[in-house]
Structure 1
Amino acid sequence: MASSVAPRLQVVLSVVPDVPLVLGVPTALRAAHALVDVPVDRFIFVTGSIAALTGRWNAQLRALPWTAVSSPAAVGSALAPTSAVLVLDPEGMPEAGELRAFLGECRRRAAPTAWLWSGRTVAVYYPAGRSARRSVLGRSSQGVSGSPRPVDADFHGERLVADVRAWYDLRDPKDVERAEHDLVRSLRKDTDGYLARLDRGISIPVSLALTRTAITPNAVTASSLLVGLLGAGVLAVPAYGAAIAGALLLWCSCILDGCDGEVARLQLLSTPWGARFDAVTDNVVHVAVFLALPVHLHLSHAHAAVIPAGLVLIAGVLLSMASVWWLILRQPSPRRGPGALLYERIASRDFIYVLLALAVVHRLEWFLWAAAGGSHVFWLTLWALALILGQEAVAHVLNALGWKWASDPRQAAAVPLRRLVALRVAGDAINYLTPSGTLAGEVGRTAMLKASHATGTEATSVIVAKIAQTLGQALFVAVGVLVCARTLRVGLPMWTVIAGVLTAALLGVLAIVAARRGFAAWRLSPLRRSFAGFVRAHRGRFAAATLLFAAAYAWGAVEAYLICRSLGLRVSASTIISIETLSAAVDGVLFMIPAKIGIQEGSKTAIFAALGLAPSAGFAFGLLRHLRELAWAAGGLVVCAIAWRPAPVGNIPEIANTGAMS
């Protein structure tokens, strides 16, 4: 039922008896579940029979904060007087993504807003306030929660026009068919294995048939478990036909493993317990298969080496399962990133296809030996990449702390550290992917900070942090050069060339700044005065920020050590510092090249050669670091998409406003 906390948003939905069900579920429930990831605190269902709603659809309602009223006139008594209200047309169904975009735009505008589709109103939003409750009460008697009606002169608010595919008119059989087709198409998941995607062609028709029965998703999961265990048992029998039959049963288990989630999503029955049950049954079947395989080979060939290989395989499988759960599955989906998606696909049941093919050609021992080694490679590389990717979080925290200390104390107190970390990641992604000379990211950070925590000092803090970061980089390179002088195997002529290149790069940057802005413009610019004023007033904070940024650059040596160890290189601490110092120097010179295309691999090859290490190891080092940068850049773009949501003007164009807000 509804929460005791005053709702931030209430959604009014009507259950109309003569509106067709979409894949067996009322459209009101589908619309409610489309907003399950939006902070909606109360769904108000208008229905002629509350008992029928709760009796037939109790399982679907269980995941929602809801209440029900028996008539449109009773809606007012269920509304909280100081919360926003969204009313949806009961004779249609919104497309989930378009509905969330409309709601986001309404909250941004903070004004009464009607959503128009094909010339009629399909949704109306009222912002928080008593006027929202009065507006809904005034319109409920005219059918807002019962039937669609055009927005005319009595509606004082804004209008947004929906895209033609943003709404399904369920009075039209073609739109009912389109809604069901789109729902079925959405069943395919990004985490599907590369070969297991073929299963969807079979599992989806089976799931559609199951939705017309009383079979629950958990019952399908249990059936998948039983068929999988039966397949593993048959696979253990030492006979050619049994191996093929067992592999076919395991393939059927894979099909059913896809059906349980599909049925749950189609019938709105997804639950955390069901997801955990599905994951546990998957792992049980995997362990059973990898136990049955060496038993089959041992009984068939009586080869002494099969049992040790089987034990190695089981150990690798268990370690892989534990690693995937700890590093990927226990994390919320938005935090997993593209690397986790790749590992989820590899860890899927694609191996069943390989197992079936090798059973047909009577070469299951090939699978045993490949899986025994591959399972350990899988979990070792997973942890190695997790360490390489995860350690960068420390650098981002240090950079965020540097930004915090480069901010006015009032802003530093107002903005949480986690927000600064997110904006650092987002800004770095913009800088990394655009040829802007690391300036576009600073503009983006300023805009995103102003959007969430406007204090009037956003631009100053970004400029001060950028200058402090540059000084921190110079400080780290200066200290590192002292180490390089003892480690780098080059003579004075080469040092002269290096110094000349760095000097020329610095002069080039200064020339560009002078040409584009003019030294006089910089001397008189408001940002220059803001920076000078901050340094005069907060010398200690500026010094602390510079040291924190230098520490962030120094932390890169930890990553360099981890990468070297993952490549099997045993190098001294001075060599590690030399690698990182020279890398920072090269990055500072070639900062204009987007995504460091060719820079990481080429520069690391040259650096490793200069340090007397294998150039091939330097190339591999640069490739791993490049992958880490791309992974974090992808995460930064996700942060940008969340923190910087532009109005979806292409899908919901605004039309003329005819009146003042009510």
Structure 2
Amino acid sequence: MRLLTLIGAALGAGLTVWLLYRVGLDHVLALLGSAGWGLLLLVGVHLMQMLLSGAGWRVVAGRADKPSVAAFVMLRWVREAVGNLLPVAQVGGEFVAVRLLARRRMSLVAAAACTVCDLTVELVTQILFTLIGLVTILALLGPSRVTDAVVSGLGVACVAAFAFVAVQWLGVVGRMERVLGRLARRFNWPGIAEIGGLDQAITGLYRAPRAMALAFCAHLAAWLLGTVEIWIALRVLGHPAGLAEALVIESLSQAIKVAGFMVPASLGVLEGGFVVIGTLFGLSPPLSIALALLRRLREIAFGLPALAAWQWLEAGSAPRHRAPDRRPCGRPS
């Protein structure tokens, strides 16, 4: 897996360099220079997205002894920065988040369960967000090759999401636990017992419909706020656009980013996607790449402090060894 990630990173970096060469680096840099202090506005919008996502994650956790909203927002910040800036596949941040939650006031089982459920809600809301973008582009431009590709991608995403949820509901996780438990006893593997009860914990979280509905609304609102970020970015780059166009660009670019999950930070994949989507709305290739790079700059400005915070959290919070909590997780307090 690590080899595939490194290969993906190399290919992505090569694609980015090729795109910059083709469209003209000087032109792209001139556009970025015109953005000025607009980057701060993008950071501000993304901060609101982070607050919504962190709050939704805490609601999903559904436990009275869970960390505060501020703690979940900080861990969401770290979780995103790891996926965006480090040479790991895009799920690397979730493993870091589970580890840090388990070092605080939650058992490893509860931390893993709420993170899996939060990922599920985020995936479902992203599919809905992409569907909204598809309906919008059909209303604006009608059918095209891009919309055909989006429909195909949505079909695959829906099947993947259904399978992801089904695995959690049909007891597959429980069967995996039992297999791992037998292997642990046979080969004397330490630590495996700590994940016992994960299936029960996940199911318990899904049995809190109010919490799931609140988390769904929080994540969907966070996705929709990304539209404002694109709208502002286009304006500071000197290309005013409507919110409808910004919604399409944001929804489809996020879908492309997920499709390139094996490439660290979707390097090159995201830039190429912006070029393809941008042509639908009259954006020149240099402008589309400048838009993608402005997003990258925001990720760096937002992510570097998060990586420092991660190291501080790792150093400052000693692991707390707790027996796995096998009770079903209740509704949020």
Q: Which residue of 2 is the match for residue 591 of structure 1?
A: 261
Aligned pairs, how many?
Answer: 263
Which is further off, 603-612 or 498-507? 498-507
Q: Which residue of 1 is the match for residue 206 of structure 2?
A: 535
- Find out whether 1:608 has 2:278 as its counterpart: yes
Quickly say closer, same or farther: Cα 1:452–1:520, change in 2 above 3 A: closer
Q: What percentage of residue pairs aligned between the two structures are identical? A: 24
> Residues 80-104 of structure 1, C-alpha deviation per residue, up to 9 Å, x if partnerless?
xxxxxxxxxxxxxxxxxxxxxxxxx
Quickly say closer, same or farther: Cα 1:565–1:591, change in 2 above 3 A: same
Quickly say closer, same or farther: Cα 1:509–1:597, change in 2 above 3 A: farther
Quickly say closer, same or farther: Cα 1:505–1:399, change in 2 above 3 A: closer
TM-score, with structure 1 as normaliser: 0.37
**Structure ID, larger Rg:** 1
Quickly say closer, same or farther: Cα 1:497–1:559, change in 2 above 3 A: closer
Distance (whole Å) between structure 2 residues aligned to residue 523 and residue 612 of structure 1: 51
Does the CA-based 8 Å contact 1:480-1:577 persist in structure 2? yes
Distance (whole Å) between structure 1 residues aligned to residue 311 and residue 234 of structure 2: 34
Distance (whole Å) between structure 1 residues aligned to residue 146 and residue 277 of structure 2: 13
Quickly say closer, same or farther: Cα 1:460–1:387, change in 2 above 3 A: same
1:73-152 superposed matches below 5 A: none
Q: Which amino acid aligns with 1:498?
A: V
Per-residue deviation, 1:644 = 0.8
Greater RCO (CA < 8 Å, at least 6 residues apart): 2
Distance (whole Å) between structure 2 residues aligned to residue 431 and residue 640 of structure 1: 13
Gaps of 5+ in 1: 1-376, 648-662
Does the CA-based 8 Å contact 1:487-1:611 persist in structure 2? no
- Find out whether 1:454 has 2:124 as its counterpart: no
- Find out whether 1:482 has 2:135 as its counterpart: yes
Distance (whole Å) between structure 1 residues aligned to residue 89 and residue 269 of structure 2: 15
Greater percentage in helix: 2
Does the CA-based 8 Å contact 1:600-1:626 persist in structure 2? no
Greater percentage in strand: 1
Does the CA-based 8 Å contact 2:56-2:215 persist in structure 1? yes
Q: Which amino acid aligns with 2:62?
A: D
Q: Which residue of 1 is the match for residue 19 of structure 2?
A: none
Distance (whole Å) between structure 1 residues aligned to residue 205 and residue 101 of structure 2: 19
Q: Which residue of 2 is the match for residue 403 of structure 1?
A: 57
Distance (whole Å) between structure 2 residues aligned to residue 422 and residue 381 of structure 1: 28
Q: Which residue of 1 is the match for residue 173 of structure 2?
A: 522
Gaps of 5+ in 2: 1-31, 178-196, 318-333
Q: Which amino acid aligns with 2:150?
A: I
Q: Which amino acid aligns with 2:76?
A: R
Match of 1:644, SS state, is: helix
Quickly say closer, same or farther: Cα 1:600–1:630, change in 2 above 3 A: farther
Distance (whole Å) between structure 1 residues aligned to residue 43 and residue 248 of structure 2: 21
TM-score, with structure 2 as normaliser: 0.70
Per-residue deviation, 1:503 = 3.6
Does the CA-based 8 Å contact 2:271-2:289 persist in structure 1? yes
Per-residue deviation, 1:447 = 1.4
1:82-481 superposed matches below 5 A: 381-411=35-65, 414-434=66-86, 437-454=89-106, 457-481=110-134
Quickly say closer, same or farther: Cα 1:391–1:462, change in 2 above 3 A: same
Per-residue deviation, 1:468 = 1.4
Quickly say closer, same or farther: Cα 1:502–1:589, change in 2 above 3 A: farther
Match of 1:406, SS state, is: helix
Does the CA-based 8 Å contact 1:489-1:611 persist in structure 2? no
Per-residue deviation, 1:409 = 3.6
- Find out whether 1:578 has 2:230 as its counterpart: no
Does the CA-based 8 Å contact 2:123-2:161 persist in structure 1? no
Match of 1:393, SS state, is: helix
Per-residue deviation, 1:383 = 2.5
> Residues 304-339 of structure 1, C-alpha deviation per residue, up to 9 Å, x if partnerless?
xxxxxxxxxxxxxxxxxxxxxxxxxxxxxxxxxxxx
Q: Which amino acid aligns with 1:541?
A: A
Does the CA-based 8 Å contact 1:463-1:527 persist in structure 2? no
Does the CA-based 8 Å contact 1:487-1:578 persist in structure 2? no
Quickly say closer, same or farther: Cα 1:617–1:489, change in 2 above 3 A: farther
